[in-house]
Amino acid sequence: MQRTAATGLLLAADAMLPAWARRWPELKQSPYNTSDKINSFEDITTYNNFYEFGTGKKDPHKNATEFNPAPWTITVEGECDKPGVFDLEDFITPGALEERIYRLRCVEGWSMVIPWVGFSLADMLKKFEPNSKAKYVEFTTLLDKSRMPGQKRRVLHWPYVEGLRIDEAMNELPIMAVGLYGEALPNQNGAPIRLVVPWKYGFKSIKSIVKIRFTETQPQTTWNKTGPTEYGFYSNVNPTVDHPRWSQKKERVIGEAFWKPKRETQMFNGYGEQVAHLYNGMDLKKYF
C-alpha cells in the first residue's frame, strides 16, 4: 500500500519502536473494510483532533513530537474477575493484528478513511471476564501535563474519559488500534493505543488509553460533561440529529477538492447492518 510522504511526520525510528511493531506479520484483512478511497498518510497524520496537544487541527502534529509512548501499561478494574495492570505487549499476540479500513466521521462535519492496524476490542475485554454487573466500559486517557501540554489549559475536564455500553463494546466492529498504514501509531493519532468505533462520531474513539473500567452505571464522559446539550453519551452518527450549532446531514471528505459538493451523511456512518440492532426500540433523538 502506498502512502504520501510528509515532511516532519512524527514517526519514531525503527530502533525506537517496541519489538511487536517491528515484527508485524502480513496483516489479515477485515471483512468489514470499506471500499471508499483511503486518505493519504499526510491527511491522516496532520489533521487531527487531540486536545491534549492543542485545540487546532494542526496542533497535535506540531506538539506531540516529544511524547514518548513507551513503555505503556493499561490498568483494568471494576466489575470483572481478572483486573490488573497489563503491559501493552500483553495484547499484541501472534495472529491478533489485522488491518481494518474504516471511515471515521467527526462531529464537525468532516470524515476520513483510515487503514488502521489493531485487534478486536471484544476479544481484549473478554480476557478480563466482566461479570453480570458490567453494563458499561469506561476508558481513560493518560493524564500528564508535562507530556501532554494541552492539559495545562482548562478547555476540557481532564483526564479525557469515554465509554460504551457493554453490548456496543462487544460488537464485532470496535478495535483497539496500535497502528495505521502498516506502521506503529503516530503520537498525534493516539499512540500507542486508541479505540476506534466507526459508527460513532470521532470523539468517542478515545486516544492514548491507560485505564479500562467495567461499571454498572453509565460513565460520565468528557464531552458530555463539557456540553451535555451538544454531545450525548451515545453519539451515533445520525444525519437526523443536528448539533445545536450545525447540521449533521452532510459531510466533507478531507483531501477532496473544496469545490466538490459535500456528501450525504449515512446513518451509523454506513455500518447499520452491523449495529442497528443494538438500538432497537430506542429513541435516537432522545438518546443522542
Q: What's the mean per-residue pLDDT of the chain?
A: 92
Whether residue 42 contacts residue 77, with contact meaning beta carbons closer than 8 Å, is answered with: no
Q: Domain count for the chain, please give it.
A: 1
Q: What is the pTM of this model?
A: 0.92
Closest-CA residue to 168 (of 196, 207, 127, 210): 196
Where does the pLDDT of residue 85 fall: very low under 50, low under 70, confident under 90, or very high at 90 and above? Answer: very high
Provide the 3-class DSSP secondary structure of residue 267. Answer: helix
**Over the stretch 26-60, which tens digit does the pLDDT of each residue have?**
788 899 999 999 999 999 999 999 999 999 999 99
Which structural domain, as residue segments, surrounds residue 162? Answer: 19-279
Closest-CA residue to 15 (of 184, 181, 182): 184
Sequence-ordered list of residues with C-beta below 8 angstroms from that of 94, at least 6 positions apart, any chain? 25
- β-strand pairing of 136-141 with 209-215: antiparallel
**65 domain residue, yes or no:** yes
Q: How many CB atoms lie within 10 A of CB 262?
A: 15
User: Which residues lie across from 250 on neighbouring strands?
Assistant: 264
Question: Would the pLDDT of 233 be above 60?
Answer: yes
Closest-CA residue to 283 (of 215, 226, 236, 230): 236
**13 domain residue, yes or no:** no
**24 domain residue, yes or no:** yes
Where does the pLDDT of residue 15 fall: very low under 50, low under 70, confident under 90, or very high at 90 and above? Answer: very low
**47 domain residue, yes or no:** yes
**3 domain residue, yes or no:** no
**6 domain residue, yes or no:** no
For residue 253, the domain's CATH number is 3.90.420.10
**105 domain residue, yes or no:** yes
Question: Taking the CA atoms of the chain, what radius of gyration do you get in angstroms?
Answer: 18
Q: How far is the C-alpha of 198 from the C-alpha of 269, rounded, in Å? A: 7
Cell numbers describing residue 244: 445545536
Mean pLDDT across 169-192: 96
Residue type at 102?
Answer: Y
